[in-house]
Structure 1
């Protein structure tokens, strides 16, 4: 029976030292809560580090047995591995780069090697427990290499990956010396999940710029596989926080806090000690608020909880010192004998205490400089059962894309935060209730169980799509079927596109001329008296004439404007006009003038704007802008727009490869038809052919063609096998 294997850096239960021995303690993190429902199903398993270095083999065996009962599989790491993998590469390279603080990054080769080694240890442990039908869900930045390592070991596995922190722009990501290896690791997954659409865009940009990966929106073509990158905003267990608020112990603590801070408004902030959280800027904004609003002195308290984290690391220790000094300064400057403006607590709290704080806080101030999602904001909302309270939220947090009724601020702008504090503290109750009610609807609907189920369901959908796609790939069985049909046919039509099908693309379009191998292959196919070979291309007829002069096969140029049969002159399709070309050509030339690398190609009854040499993302951007500009001309002159492979073409609407194909079919009858092409213009050919024709798209499965080939070189291999069937001497 198939199962899901969850893989994360940490298990949902950690081993802690207790006296002379160890004990098991549940984790309180959002990931542990979020995946609990998935882990509870069937025989699902969770693999991860148990939170402490256990060197004694007997103790390792003991803990493995204990955890096995809970379907948890520990991966034990040495102190050296923890230092290099987690504290080193994960938190000294990936964390600062992904949070847009490259000056904090430490590119240590030894740490990178340890990161690779630990990811390989995870792979080896997973392989021990995985079966071919299992689904593997990998989590977060500590395991970026793991999907690729698993793909190499388990080619047909169903692999998902979720990134719980932001993904940076490619300009920052490319700073990492091992950027390609990290991307190749991530691209081993079938589905890549991120908190926001911005993160998806950043990842796709990095993948397409730094690796030989093609993309169509959020679909990435990787070694013949389609990888999907999509946003899945993570939620919380909203029901749990709502119920906690009503518990007696929490209610008692709420009463104590309200008695302590009687007659005061509470502004709550809760953060782990980290330079990405914007704690210093928040304190500066609060100081500015106190300076400009003396009426609020003794009326408001900033209740600040900072959870200790890595305070032995120099940057974190320095941050802690800066926070201490700034809190001391504010309290000394504005405090009086019976009131301190900042109540500062540097330690962690149990969830019951946090729940009480959420309930007494009139304002929750969440202003990270960069955050994947930020669940504190959602926990605060879920706790406000009476629909009171105001959330001030950084626009740099993923949650800001969902919680639109929060007061959204720029965390770098202390004046913006100051203004939001003033607005929140003066907000009318009716507006407060309206905003909170709206946000609670979102938080309760898109809860953590919804997030987990949505991801897993989408992964299953993608595997089903891939399974269907794989069935359409021209593999051994389909190839044999094509060859058998070819062998048994007495009248055959071979319709072959040129660029991207018979030859690869060149930056200089004039350099994509036929090579001797291609000439030999085409001559072999045409030599078979049962074959009618047609090259059907968007190329100029003068170019095809130069390349194939004297050859015994039919030529169709400029998508059907010109046709030529062996031994005859070129024939021009009647009734065409090009009076529009001067006006449209001027517009296209203006786009070429502002786009380095682009140029306009003039054909008899069409114009093509090529951008294969243009910077990767700039070309498609300006191509879409050009298409929008050409739409009016298209309607006015009865023209057709084509968005091809690195080319925008406009031509007479009466002409396309499909109509040229219908003319060929009208003149002859065939009992075997093979059509191969690689771009949108070939879709017209595929659609014009009868359903039993063998239509093949090159490079992508997204097509009306019945089948597809992964790359252009595969076309020659297939045609060579057909030539061999024809009995041509020396066939490939």
Structure 2
């Protein structure tokens, strides 16, 4: 009798997500699968997302790019921490990758891309593509994002690639570069810093030189290099954001799939088939790095160490076959046969090994639902989204979850309630299996609840929305910084004076360092300041004090000085000399209110210093200083400056290379001066080269120090790092000059600005600023008298801001009666620009207006 025809089983597919549509369009360029052609850039309305990043290869593709599989051989070993043969990284394997990226670039640029679209490039197969798109005239100004779905290795591994420079420069063509964990992002920043010698900061990479980093050849490259955009970016460089974006699944779609009657049918069938037994379920690719063999060997050791579980526990392992060589390398067939021959009986088989193609998606969900444990033992992996699916399917049973420490999923605190294992420790993994199967229902429910909270929060929708939002924000910020400073008109003083004269009330914000005070940053001045607390770095110039006195003496004016300096020292002296001037110290950590006189009774409202971060935890300062002391020992001439709420590391105190002081104002971009001597001596040239080398070393050390501080302390304590030309500043995250300005403008803020009530920014916008600054406790809201000052509710109100903090200038630009003046000497959103050396002259001229 002929056997019955086998019913065709549909291939395992992933649930489609219903992602909301916060953006109109984006061009999603996804990586092709091994052995298939590249999918051309497709236009989406964010209607769906694949929650399973382990789909099987598409066998229906008819055309192939020659030698494409060799390109995957080139790249795949790179993403795992293991050494590999140099033949894998031979330069002869790279043409396929380059050909693939150029083909996709030409297709997306000429056919798919339309102005206003967002281009999202996905995964390691297309690492060259962002640079190619950035170099194309049509997409040079487009928002481009790149997200890597796999682990990024350390620089010691990545450096083995022969085309390492091209790959890194290609990725740096994007606006944001996204990774699944903070460790992978750190590896990328360090790799770029050590291989390309670019400045690596906690927020991203400062790319020097041209934007077109990948040679594309032909007319396209020639056209770009001749374009105005190409000429501009070759000179200026750009900043590339580096961020962490954890992936997730569509929880709602998964719940809908679980309600399918076919799923319920298989659930009942599996419970009947394995009644009285415990099920351990796994689903992995069949390559060596997924650790399937390690998992099965640990299960074998578990059965040997716990004979009472023999005949009572079954491991159902689903495997996705990638290539024949990978499956052979995985080496699971022999160990499966060994276990089954040793422990099987007439009614019991300890290991059920299935290929994914043999299991429908309904059967897969049913297995996740009835499982007593789900097990992932990868040796290296990014976000294992199958773990999210397991947690989502366990809403009724709430059973155990075993996860390898080497997955990106484990790096998130929401998954720390799992049973963590070292996949290389066979005995340890076997013990964890026993613990997972024997724990109490209460412990299991508690652990599952923590896991579930993360899964339902970090969904596919949240991932897509956060990445595209970051892409747009980064692109907007980069575009504003790339504005040619020559397009911003210089301050027209004759035009400003009439508006200043006829205004009834005036609110003036001005930076101290680099504007009112060009400090002597020579090494001798620093030594004098540190030894005796005196000198040109501590004593504000008399000219500055006189200008402030004249401005503050006008009853129409309210003057606020914004500074990054500590309270002790220069700012204390300034407060004594000009008490009617408000001061912001340490970039917003402290605010000194103005001393206001009452015209009716001659009484004065005394000034006071308000600590905006009084209740914050400053335990980070000790470890931070230890890290900086380590780098200070290795950087000649550097030193640490501890302040009340922040820390400054001055990594370069050598000969000045700029015309202005940039001490604590990182927004000032300096202009390098050169000698007019066309015939320098050999000694002068050697000295210049030595200074350049020493400064380059100091900048490299500064970048390393920033990364160490950010990775070890930044997220834990909520810190941010402000880089400058010769220093960087570490301070609490939610404090800045911009938030200080918001506090001043807020009608009920701790600074109690009499002019804040009618500045046109009260209510919802600046409520956020108040909520931000009160996290440190501050002094709370105050309701002191305005001292008889004229309210800003009148129509003739002028807000004048002069400085280099672009965020403050950008926010003040939203006011109708604001005149913003940038001194940063770079692209700006301010209405005017002004050389820092001219600030005192301009303010002096305004002080004479009556």
Which bin holds the TM-score, normalised by the shorter protein?
Answer: 0.5 to 0.7
- How far the C-alpha of 1:368 sits from its partner, in A, is 0.8
Instruction: Give matches, 1:116-131, under 5 Å.
Output: 116-128=98-110, 129-131=112-114
**Cα pair distance change 1:212/1:218, threshold 3 Å:** same
The structure 2 residue matched to 1:595, chosen from 623, 633, 639, is: 633
- Give, in whole Å, the separation in 1 of the partners of 2:523 and 2:144: 46
Q: Secondary structure at the match of 2:701?
A: coil
The structure 2 residue matched to 1:537, chosen from 481, 497, 520, is: 520
Please tell me whether residue 192 in structure 1 is matched to residue 173 in structure 2. no
Please tell me whether residue 204 in structure 1 is matched to residue 189 in structure 2. yes
Q: Is the 8 A contact 1:224 1:710 kept in 2?
A: no
The structure 2 residue matched to 1:234, chosen from 222, 244, 247, is: 247
- How far the C-alpha of 1:593 sits from its partner, in A, is 10
With normalisation by structure 2, the TM-score equals: 0.55
The structure 1 residue matched to 2:75, chosen from 94, 105, 120, is: 94
- How far the C-alpha of 1:407 sits from its partner, in A, is 0.9
Deviations 1:481-520 (A, max 9, x none): 25x669999xxxxx9999xx9xxxxxxxxxxxxxxxxxxx
Q: Secondary structure at the match of 1:192?
A: strand
Instruction: Give matches, 1:610-689, under 5 Å.
Output: 610=651, 612=695, 613=697, 616=701, 620=705, 645-646=725-726
- Give, in whole Å, the separation in 2 of the partners of 1:268 and 1:118: 38
Instruction: Give matches, 1:329-408, under 5 Å.
Output: 329-348=338-357, 349-400=359-410, 401=412, 402-408=414-420
- Give, in whole Å, the separation in 1 of the partners of 2:438 and 2:640: 66
Q: Is the 8 A contact 1:592 1:598 kept in 2?
A: no
Aligned to 1:453: 465
Q: Secondary structure at the match of 2:346?
A: coil
Aligned to 2:537: 559
Aligned to 2:775: none
- How far the C-alpha of 1:258 sits from its partner, in A, is 2.3
Instruction: Give matches, 1:43-192, under 5 Å.
Output: 46=28, 81=65, 83-84=67-68, 87-89=69-71, 91-103=72-84, 106-128=88-110, 129-153=112-136, 154-192=139-177
- Give, in whole Å, the separation in 1 of the partners of 2:525 and 2:23: 66
- Give, in whole Å, the separation in 1 of the partners of 2:707 and 2:268: 62
- How far the C-alpha of 1:275 sits from its partner, in A, is 1.4
- Give, in whole Å, the separation in 1 of the partners of 2:822 and 2:22: 42
**Cα pair distance change 1:541/1:421, threshold 3 Å:** closer
Q: Secondary structure at the match of 1:37?
A: coil
- How far the C-alpha of 1:68 sits from its partner, in A, is 12
- Give, in whole Å, the separation in 2 of the partners of 1:196 and 1:290: 35
- Give, in whole Å, the separation in 1 of the partners of 2:444 and 2:409: 19
Aligned to 1:328: 337
Q: Secondary structure at the match of 1:415?
A: helix
Aligned to 1:506: none
- How far the C-alpha of 1:370 sits from its partner, in A, is 1.1
Deviations 1:226-276 (A, max 9, x none): 322111111112223333333221122222222222211111111111111
Q: Secondary structure at the match of 1:209?
A: helix
With normalisation by structure 1, the TM-score equals: 0.64
Q: Secondary structure at the match of 1:708?
A: coil
Aligned to 1:444: 456
Aligned to 1:524: none
Deviations 1:140-185 (A, max 9, x none): 1111111111112223211111111111122222222222221111
Residues 232-241 or 535-544, more deviating: 535-544
Instruction: Give matches, 1:280-319, under 5 Å.
Output: 280-311=293-324, 313=325, 316-319=326-329
Deviations 1:96-135 (A, max 9, x none): 1112233166013232122112111111111112123211
- How far the C-alpha of 1:460 sits from its partner, in A, is 2.5
Q: Secondary structure at the match of 2:178?
A: strand
Aligned to 1:279: 292
**Cα pair distance change 1:356/1:309, threshold 3 Å:** same
Aligned to 1:665: none
- Give, in whole Å, the separation in 2 of the partners of 1:70 and 1:195: 20
**Cα pair distance change 1:297/1:350, threshold 3 Å:** same
**Cα pair distance change 1:267/1:702, threshold 3 Å:** farther
- Give, in whole Å, the separation in 2 of the partners of 1:193 and 1:68: 20
Higher relative contact order (CA 8 A, sep 6+): 2
**Cα pair distance change 1:53/1:39, threshold 3 Å:** farther
Q: Is the 8 A contact 1:537 1:557 kept in 2?
A: no
Q: Give the gaps of 5 or more residues in structure 1.
A: 1-24, 490-494, 502-531, 545-555, 566-572, 577-586, 629-641, 650-689, 712-717, 723-732
**Cα pair distance change 1:125/1:419, threshold 3 Å:** same
Aligned to 1:415: 427
- Give, in whole Å, the separation in 2 of the partners of 1:69 and 1:409: 40
Q: Secondary structure at the match of 1:227?
A: strand
Q: Secondary structure at the match of 2:824?
A: strand
Aligned to 1:658: none
Residues 607-616 or 178-187, more deviating: 607-616
CA RMSD of aligned residues (A): 5.0
Higher strand share: 1
Q: Is the 8 A contact 2:651 2:702 kept in 1?
A: no
- Give, in whole Å, the separation in 1 of the partners of 2:43 and 2:142: 25
**Cα pair distance change 1:458/1:594, threshold 3 Å:** closer
The structure 1 residue matched to 2:822, chosen from 706, 720, 726, is: 706
Q: Secondary structure at the match of 2:402?
A: strand
Corresponding residue pairs, total: 549
**Cα pair distance change 1:67/1:706, threshold 3 Å:** closer
Q: Is the 8 A contact 1:301 1:340 kept in 2?
A: yes
